[in-house]
Amino acid sequence: MVMEDLRYVILLTIGILVAFTVVMTMVAYTVLAERRILGFIQGRLGPNRVGPGGFLQPIADLLKFIFKEDIVPDKSTRFVYFLAPTIATTAALMSIVVYPFGPDVHLGFNIPWIGNTIPLVVAKFDVALLYVLGVTSVGVYGIALAGWSSNNKYSLMGGLRSSAQMISYELALGLGLIGVILQSGTLNLQSIVERQSGHLGITGWNLIWVQPVGFIVYLIAAIAETNRVPFDLPEAETELVAGFHTEYSAMKFALFFLAEYVNMFTVSMLATTLFLGGWNGPFVHQLPWLGIFYFLGKVVLFLFFYIWLRGTLPRFRFDQLMSFGWKFLVPLAIINIVVTATIQWSGLFDWGAKFLKTATGWGG
Amino acid sequence: MLALLFILFAGMAVGCAISMVAQRNPLYSAISLIGVFISLTCLYVTLAAPFIAAVQVIVTPAPSWFWSYS
């Protein structure tokens, strides 16, 4: 019994370490890619001196963050001031474990202790979608507490704006996903992905068939949820210096920075899993390892979309942001839910899927 | 193993709950309340009730409504 527990814990630890390393590396290079692409959009070069094409820039940045002086403001509330970046980073990182990076890989031989099946997901969890929504929403505390504990008016404004914005858009985000849940009938991410395997792994995607409106609502709400341009009011440089992280320096600032990019990454992974078919793609059933490349490739598409938006859109005003969220996105999501539920209840989806499958060999 | 986890998280929950009532600053009370929620979540997970645990995590941001809309 103890042996079995130990084996489980060790396998889980290995899985977490692998997923963490992959995500962290990709996040580091997302920062570099963002700077290079922004440079391209704005007609300049961006960082290109450290290593070939700026390839080693993330390592240089990390070293710089570690060796910078760590300044703590005198009048700050020490405990909360130190707690805030921890909460932000932990909440951002915790949701990585439930995303299916690929299908189960069946090997032709036995590896001692592991067996002949390697699941490309760290934790198989039946209510994974609820878990993701819950854990990512805890991240609002990191920002709100950082704003409050810095004892700085601008930081406080940034923190308040951020908590109001994140709570408002959390609603639209969740409602946008309900259509997918209704249509798949499960909260298990692996099952949701498996349901989307259509012809060549492309035609079964939720985005194409059933949830274009839910996809748009989710995408916009996710940008607001991660505090990115055009919804980056919590750190609006022209109004609030740097918003909630004005008083943070060195590695504590780096943790906020990291949390923002990991959040961006996790919402992209969720969008890929729910709307773009996750690891589905051509020939993935013959070569299961391809699933990882399809999954990460789709995530990279989303990240590029984010960076593209940052380079091309101006910032919203706060009242515009609120009225857009509450008066446009939420009603749109509710209408989407009602329409999806009605069609689902009438059996039109099943009929259509069966028709397409028999007539053309398409559909999920 | 499970008993150890239970003692750990139950102790955390009770401690945070007492601190929530005893604090003078409302914001510290809110932070303690978050602590209570998180330890309850861990207790539900050890009881093999993942759905209730997930719902408990989802209501965790509720205290942040207090300071953003008041």
Number of domains in chain B: 1
| Burial (CB count <10 Å: 0-12, 13-18, 19+), residue A89 | buried
Q: Are A155 and A77 in contact (CB under 8 A)?
A: no
Q: Count of CB contacts below 8 A, A vs B? A: 55
Output the average pLDDT for chain A. Answer: 82
Q: What is the pLDDT of residues A47-59, one digit of tens each?
A: 888 878 788 888 8
Touching check for A31 and chain B: CB below 8 Å?
A: no
Mean pLDDT, rounded, for B44-56 = 87
Q: How far is A178 from chain B (nearest CA, A)?
A: 15
* Tens of pLDDT, residues A317-328: 888 888 888 888
Rg, Å, chain A Cα set: 22
Candidates B27, B50, B56; nearest CB to A148: B27
Instruction: Tell me which residue in A83, A127, A163 faces B54 most closely, judged by beta carbons.
Output: A127
Average pLDDT, chain B: 84
Whether A154 has a pLDDT exceeding 90, the answer reads no
The span from the CA of A60 to the CA of A50, in Å, is: 8
Contact residues, chain A, for B19 at CB < 8 Å: none
Residue A101: pLDDT band by 50, 70, 90 thresholds?
A: confident
ipTM of the shown complex:
0.83
Beta carbons within 8 Å of A226's beta carbon, 6+ residues apart: A260, A263, A264, A267
According to the model, what pLDDT value does residue B30 have? 83
Per residue in A192-211, pLDDT (tens digit) is 888 877 666 676 676 666 78
Residue A107, SS3? Answer: strand
Measure the CA–CA gap between A12 and B41, rounded to whole angstroms. Answer: 20
Domain of residue B60: give its range.
2-68
Question: Is the model more confident about A5 or about A226?
Answer: A226
Give the confidence band of B11 by pLDDT, cuts at 50, 70, 90: very high
pLDDT (tens digit, 9 = 90+) per residue, A2-13? 777 787 788 888
Could you read off the pLDDT of A135-144 as tens digits, one per residue?
888 888 888 8
Choose among A130, A140, A148: nearest Cβ to B61: A140
Residue B51: closest CA among chain A residues belongs to which residue? A127
Contacts of B57 in chain A (CB under 8 A): 130-131, 134-135, 138
Residues of B whose CB is below 8 A from A124: none
**Three-class SS state of A111:** strand
Interatomic CA distance for residues B7 and A357, integer angstroms: 55
- Give CA A189 to chain center in angstroms: 14
Question: Which range has the worst mean pLDDT, A39-48, A253-262, A291-300, A344-353?
Answer: A344-353
Q: What is the DSSP letter of A194?
A: H
Task: Dump pLDDT digits (tens) for A329-360.
Answer: 899 989 988 888 888 787 776 676 677 667 66
Residue A364 has pLDDT above 50, yes or no: no
Interface contact A127-B58, CB threshold 8 A: no
Residue of chain B minimizing CA distance to A144: B64
pLDDT of residue A1 exceeding 70: no
Separation in Å, CA of B10 to nearest CA in chain A: 21
